[in-house]
Structure 1
């Protein structure tokens, strides 16, 4: 019977492959506890989740994740770094158990992965050349003319710009935030769209660029755009998701959680906003 079963399995896998169907490698909380190690991915983005020069995981995602792991009785964390656009594929392939990159909860992503309740909230920003020669202060300015705006592959800003009607021909896609300064400074793009926190971090690294000030928040369907970041899991990992949610809910009631966000540059408004939306609401948003 074994050869027949193997043949049948191979045929099924071949059919799924031809149809473009991929399977998700879910992990259970029990499996993680048995190995006493959780594999957590970050995208090396300051201040959301990054590795410092000593090889330590830093940022709001990792700092909160460390507390949650301890609460769940997990003693070891194996940190993985990946390009932002590889985080969801990595979860699906089982390369890591959880993502702590403060990934924004979006309906399209909710169809692919599971999210915890929000851990953070943040707004948008623009990185421009020093002196802001093009007088840029809004995403909407890129809907007409020849101005070009850079975005990171896989980032939320693509959906925002598309919703605003910015043509794809005016978008320049870069692999990671590290390329943003040179992209803007050399004129490959007139600005780089990212979250306000990311823009501030990049602007502090070079005197060739600056944050666009004042910046006008993009308005979509009459509402200013704001993102809610959360921990992310593969579909099928509902027990792990629930355990993290329970621990996160309790931790968000403490001053320690608030201090972590403040130390990573989140404002009082950002902190308060993190309580204003649920994952269910954000996953259903149009």
Structure 2
């Protein structure tokens, strides 16, 4: 291939990319049109979103998000890791264009950022010492036994626990999953409230840890996962949602997330982000 031909193809590619975003308004569309990468922020959460040994984005939420963007024709992606509590502030401060990593769509979060249509559904559970000495299965069990629950700062389990009657004196907040595991193993907490994906991962990799049954928790603790955007990128998110509809549940997507334990039972069904924002 001649140099002139290569330059022609590159020019055509730039023209196509520019045309694709020309009808989309917002800061992210401007970045794409300028040839800048789409910046994805995520936290180090087992199974959901984490960096591998090379720093590449792994976890089923990242796999799905990257797959959707690829379907849209976007492969110029830059990823970075931050504390869980820094995801939404980082998006609002324009440090990221999209945030992944397993954000549940919650009414309280919907006041601050926009969510894509759901890409997964998942329940919560607790990690407890092997044998579950305090018989903890629910938030009510923690409340009635006077136990201490540890969870991550910014986790949905804080809202859930308080809804079930727990006060701040029974809720220990730490930066993330590894600190939660450490608190339970050291006896500083009696249970660690987190997603079932995280809890099951810890139980499988730690002989002195068990995981509780997520079905023991109330139905309203079943949550839906979305991808976070700034409100001003609503046009881009609308195009993203079109790709969500055509990609989520496909053989290609299911193959990409199989290693993380995502199965057809985790597909979001017909629930919309609007419904979830109003009901969670």
- TM-score category of the 2 structures, normalised to the smaller one: 0.7 to 0.9
Kept in 2: contact 1:28–1:239 (CA 8 A):
no
Take 1:42 and 1:277, find their aligned partners in 2: how far apart are those partners? 24
Take 1:261 and 1:240, find their aligned partners in 2: how far apart are those partners? 24
Does 2:276 align with 1:277? no
Take 2:252 and 2:48, find their aligned partners in 1: how far apart are those partners? 17
In structure 1, the residue matched to 2:10 is: none
Take 1:136 and 1:60, find their aligned partners in 2: how far apart are those partners? 28
Take 2:202 and 2:211, find their aligned partners in 1: how far apart are those partners? 8
In structure 2, the residue matched to 1:60 is: 60
Aligned-pair CA distance for 1:35: 2.0
Take 1:30 and 1:71, find their aligned partners in 2: how far apart are those partners? 20
Kept in 2: contact 1:150–1:174 (CA 8 A):
yes
In structure 2, the residue matched to 1:81 is: 81
Could you list the per-position Cα deviations for residues 172-200 of structure 1 after superposition, in whole angstroms to 9, with x for gaps in the alignment? 11111011222001110001011111001
For structure 1, the residue ranges without an aligned partner over 5 or more in a row are 1-25
Q: CA RMSD in A?
A: 1.7
Does 2:253 align with 1:257? yes
Matched length: 255
- SS of the equivalent of 2:252 reads helix
Does 2:127 align with 1:127? yes
Take 1:77 and 1:28, find their aligned partners in 2: how far apart are those partners? 12
In the TM superposition, 1:45-56 aligns within 5 A as 45-56=45-56
Does 2:98 align with 1:98? yes
Take 1:145 and 1:217, find their aligned partners in 2: how far apart are those partners? 17
1:68–1:267 distance in 2 versus 1, CA, 3 Å: closer
- SS of the equivalent of 2:155 reads coil
- SS of the equivalent of 1:143 reads helix
For structure 2, the residue ranges without an aligned partner over 5 or more in a row are 1-25
In structure 2, the residue matched to 1:18 is: none
Which structure's residues are more often helix, by fraction?
2
In structure 2, the residue matched to 1:226 is: 222
Take 2:226 and 2:271, find their aligned partners in 1: how far apart are those partners? 12
In the TM superposition, 1:1-286 aligns within 5 A as 27-212=27-212, 214-219=213-218, 223-271=219-267, 274-285=268-279
Take 2:247 and 2:214, find their aligned partners in 1: how far apart are those partners? 32
Could you list the per-position Cα deviations for residues 187-236 of structure 1 after superposition, in whole angstroms to 9, with x for gaps in the alignment? 10001011111001112232221213x454322xxx44211001101121
Kept in 2: contact 1:36–1:75 (CA 8 A):
no
Kept in 2: contact 1:102–1:119 (CA 8 A):
no
Kept in 1: contact 2:39–2:96 (CA 8 A):
yes
- SS of the equivalent of 1:102 reads coil
